[in-house]
Chains A and B, each alone.
Chain A
Amino acid sequence: MTQIYDAIVIGSGISGGWAAKELTERGLKVLLLERGPAVEHGVDYKNEMKAPWEMPFKGFNNPKLLAEHYPVQSKGMNFDEWSMPHFVKDTEHPYQTTANLPFQWRRGYQLGGRSLTWGRQCYRWSDIDFSANQRDGHGVDWPVRYADLKPWYDHVESFIGVNGTKEGLPQLPDGIFQPHMPLSAIEQLLADRIANNYQDRKLIPGRSANLTEAKDGRAPCQFRYICHRGCSFGAYFSTQSSTLPAARKTGRLTLVTDTIVEKIDYDHVAKRASGVQCIDAKTGKRTSYTAKMFFLNASAFNSVGILLRSRSETFPNGLANSSGTLGHYIMDHATTLAVAASVDELNDRSYFGNRPSNFIIPRFRNLEQDSEDFTRGYSFQGVGFRANWQRGARAAGVGQDLKDELMQQGEWRLLMVTFAESLPQKSNRITLSTQLDQWGLEQLDIKLLHGENEKKLLQDAAIQARNMVGLTKSKIYASFDEPEPAGSAVHEMGGARMGHDPASSVVNKWNQSHDVANLFITDGAAMSSSANQNPSLTYMAFTARAAAYAVQKLKAGMI
């Protein structure tokens, strides 16, 4: 078999797209493998422009279909009748999990992966986050600090386009931002009340990967907030809108879709990964590809699954698993609706447009030292909006009076969702099940349960959220302090964690396997802690950094 590729990138989602871009731009011939079908920018966003009356179920979907084929996917944010093609059918892609509080694995198997449907919130991690494991002893110490990542955050933000405000907060470092999307009137009211009543916290505009200025052939946001259908304007960051065009532009990218990677081959003589064994998702036909090095970006848990399946004489428990930690210490933010309220103020004010972002109240707990009750912290993401016509079914009223009233916007509402840090626990793990999928591959068995610390964080968060919303003339109609089932945040992390010591971690500070020098794991699998911020920006920064390192080493003959 002729080795024509310098590198193989497994997975075309957020981090895989970045790996393909960086490696090709640095001169490598790259094969990008995607297990799902091709979804070409603009062309394949089938439902993007459709109005509700053009949809088979008027935008409210077919409950019978969802119950049969999408019981997990359909409960997630950004899943709707329009975006359904961007999510897997649960029936076609089964996994095993705990019966009690089953893990909610939200997935999109197509070109671009979940970059098509992600929440687009982009937050840098700080040294409060990178030093957390060392400080309190949970997990292993990150072998990197913010200074290592900062230039790569700059690099990524400059390319993808992130809007936001500079705030000077040590827990949420500022970045390179396009003009922000301002707070709505009710959000600004809440921000002002918080500023007047608290010294330790601040409500600020969210930072999202939606352009507010045109960039590199991509149009600015049109304020439709239907990003998850795919955006032909290219206004939000996705593989399709951003990294894939860049990689293709080099002329060094080969993209193969509908190709599932079963395992990575290991050459025990050369002590290197040598190739990938693949299955055609449509025909079942098997094939293989070889390359000089490999970037694993199949999404955190699928990357772990590929490694676990890549058993060999040298690595009987999974490739790159001499530490025995592969599959362990998986995480997902503990999340819940901290508060939902109606607000009886600013009744003569409103807004126009659909802002595809939110506000955030960055972490304010345990910035200096841990409290006695819990360690680490949480942040809030929220929105303010006015109720729509659906309120008409929740109170008495019929006829012309009702119709006239529903032509007006309803009362203001405020929602705040907690994102709490998930501690790395060994008992939270992925193993291979004896159950097989339709291609004969062992399904993943995922056990991830939130612990007492996560619950205490959410309890404190609910109290704080109610107190803050209580600064307005409001009526709280919901407030929760129990975590949603793990997976609900769609921030899977860990399983192939980064660390100093090969005996207790899978990858080094360059996302390079301790055991296999030409193997890089740069998606969420490599995360050693979860912080409380949305992690995708950090995956991108790690990926770009690792690619630069890998190319340098490859060219130096050291890989």
Chain B
Amino acid sequence: MDVSLPNITRRNLLGLMAFSPCLSMANSIAVGSVSSLENQLNVLSEIIIPGSSIENPGSAIMMRLSTGWLGLNTELVVKTLGHLDNFIGKPLFSFSLPQQQTAVEQYDKHCFSGAVDPALTNDWRMLKAALLACFYSSKVGASETLSYVPVPGKWLPDIPLSQATPAVANDWLAVWFT
């Protein structure tokens, strides 16, 4: 993954997306209901990991949000989605899916560019990590996208990488220490 992309400005992004110059200056997204947050998380998850929304990560997160699951809380989720909208200039979810994909990709690069507030990067990273966790701990993500091997039955200490693909979701050392 490229972690050294140049910082991208909101102006660049808007040009890229051919957005209307009429910008929303809202500091946060309007949160109509829990279900709207849930839907937004599902859409965001689908953009980050195509095919992941089938596992309804929005619901998985929202139903556990009060526990601080995966380091998330409502404020962080709302704030992060708000930052994303502010970066784009309009609510992400008012655009078409291709436009959303472009916007999220640029925002993701922006957050990891090293040129933004570390807190912003951290919030985005937390949300991204949570969405990845939702998917790769789901049946589809763990056992159909990656490989889930409940009883390996053997230890092969040195094999070609090609024989270890797709990666094993329950490679516990990697799960604990990555």
Interface set of A (CB-CB < 8 Å, partner B): 49, 51-53, 57-60, 62-65, 67, 181-185, 187-188, 221-226, 340, 347-355, 383, 385-400, 402-403, 405-410, 413, 415
Contact = CB atoms under 8 A, between A and B. Distances in A.
Interface string B4-20: 01000000000000000
18 contacts: A49-B150, A52-B170, A63-B67, A185-B157, A224-B150, A350-B159, A351-B159, A352-B164, A383-B177, A393-B125, A393-B128, A396-B3, A396-B5, A396-B109, A399-B101, A402-B49, A406-B136, A410-B178
A480 to B, nearest CB: 15
A222 B151 contact: yes
Interface string B62-100: 001011111100000000000000000000000000000
A352 B159 contact: yes
B32 interface: no
Contact of A355 (B60, B69, B155): B155
A407 B174 contact: no
Given A185-B157, A407-B145, A408-B167, 16 more contacts: A49-B150, A52-B138, A53-B139, A59-B175, A62-B69, A64-B68, A185-B158, A225-B172, A349-B158, A350-B159, A352-B156, A389-B136, A389-B178, A395-B2, A396-B5, A408-B166
Closest 6 CB pairs of A and B: A393-B129, A350-B164, A388-B174, A397-B1, A353-B155, A52-B137
A57 B69 contact: yes
A405 B67 CA distance: 31
B51 A403 contact: yes
With most chain B CB atoms within 10 A of its CB, the pick from A184, A355, A392 is A392
Interface of B: 1-3, 5, 47-51, 60, 64, 66-71, 101, 104-105, 108-109, 111-113, 125, 128-129, 132-134, 136-139, 142-143, 145-146, 148, 150-161, 163-175, 177-178
Nearest to B129: A393
Given A60-B133, A353-B154, A403-B145, A395 B68 contact: no
A182 B158 CA distance: 9
A197 to B, nearest CB: 22
Contacts of A348: 160-161
Contacts of B178: 387-391, 410, 413
Nearest to A78: B176
Contact of B154 (A225, A352, A405): A352
Contact of B1 (A183, A184, A402): A402
A63 B164 contact: no
A200 B143 CA distance: 45
Contact of B160 (A65, A350, A413): A350
Nearest to A233: B151
Given A58-B137, A399-B48, A390 B157 contact: no
Contacts of A392: 1, 128, 132
Nearest to A358: B173
B150 A385 contact: no
Given A350-B163, A396-B2, A403 B49 contact: yes
A400 B138 CA distance: 18
A182 B51 CA distance: 38
Among A67, A188, A396, A415, the one with the most B-chain Cβ atoms within 10 Å of its Cβ is A396
B153 A223 contact: yes
A239 B31 CA distance: 54
B177 A354 contact: no
B146 A396 contact: no
A15 B158 CA distance: 37
A140 B41 CA distance: 63
A400 B1 contact: no
Contact of A389 (B159, B164, B167, B172): B167
Contacts of B112: 395-396
Nearest to B48: A398
Contact of B108 (A57, A351, A396): A396
B50 A52 contact: no
Given A388-B167, A396-B109, A58 B177 contact: no
A422 to B, nearest CB: 25
